[in-house]
Amino acid sequence: MRFANTFPFLAVLGSVTALGIGTSFAKQLFPLVGSLGTTALRVGFSALLLLALWRPWRWPLSRPDALSLLRYGVALGFMNLLFYMSLRTIPFGVAVAIEFSGPLTVALLSSRKPIDFVWLGLAVAGLGLLLPLGLGAAPLDPEGVIYALAAAVCWGAYIVFGKRVGHLHAGHSVALGLSVAALTVVPFGIWQAGSALLDPHVLLFGLGVAAVSSALPISLEMMALKRLPPEAFGILTSMEPAVAALLGLLMLDERLSVLQWLAIVCVMLAAAGSSLTARRVLPQSPPAEVVM
């Protein structure tokens, strides 16, 4: 019974950790195939793995749902591509914290409670410490920040479009959405990396990254979502920036300043608080939090 009670927490923790480990390993591919090539490998192999796992062709798909999945997949593809481009010049944990402003904005716009201004203030404070506005002790590369903010916009769009296919089976929508994402980003990877993407060692590494950063987190999150209310799931996933910062330190030797850690804590508190007080009129669909 005790394990059953703690399993959802362990599943979300495992999902966030696996996602961070996979992304940390993916960054090590940058010298070989660049950020665009790495995105192509990661998203492309993730799509193939989930197509094999869920076989989405078994379910019928209406024309409106197909159009919604198209928008959902394009947003997912560019979210990954822009996020990986931001990792070229800014630390992993900082990029995740900036990108979190996307789903946090969507959550805050769905509610009008006075307490939401507290979470908004925390989010603004956190971003103010991270963005190159002269407020933080360690200035960040502006180009990397722009890419992270653009990824945040795509994450917000991904959640909005994901809700429109929330009535579909999660495996169905995620597998097809990732397939559209792969078709969106793979041409960019081929343009940048060319034949380097066909190197056997690169392909094997890319497959491992896809398995750890997509297939495993998605499976764990789907199991957790069956046992947790949406607000609890949102609170648990708010630890993602801290996990990313810790993994960036341990695996990539990315050392953050005290103010940057404080900024990450502010963003985490804002995300957790908004999840706790969110209205239930807009339930979170399973695809909304998977795949970064």
pLDDT tens for 30-51 read 999 999 999 999 999 999 999 9
Is residue 240 scored above 70 in pLDDT?
A: yes
Average pLDDT, the chain: 86
Within 10 A of 78 (CB to CB), how many other CB atoms are there? 22
Report H helices in the chain: 2-27, 30-54, 63-86, 92-99, 101-109, 116-130, 142-164, 170-193, 200-210, 216-225, 230-237, 240-252, 258-277
Which of 280, 260, 254, 278 lies closest to 103 in space, CA to CA? 278
Is residue 291 scored above 50 in pLDDT?
A: no
Q: What percent of the chain has pLDDT over 70?
A: 89
Is residue 241 scored above 50 in pLDDT?
A: yes
Is residue 288 scored above 50 in pLDDT?
A: no
DSSP H or E run through 240:
helix 240-252
Encoded tokens for 286: 């399973």
Is residue 289 scored above 80 in pLDDT?
A: no
Distances (CA, A) of 147 to 49, 104, 150, 211, 230: 27, 17, 5, 25, 29
* The pLDDT value given to residue 281: 45
* The pLDDT value given to residue 22: 94
Is residue 170 scored above 90 in pLDDT?
A: no
Predicted TM-score of the model (pTM): 0.89
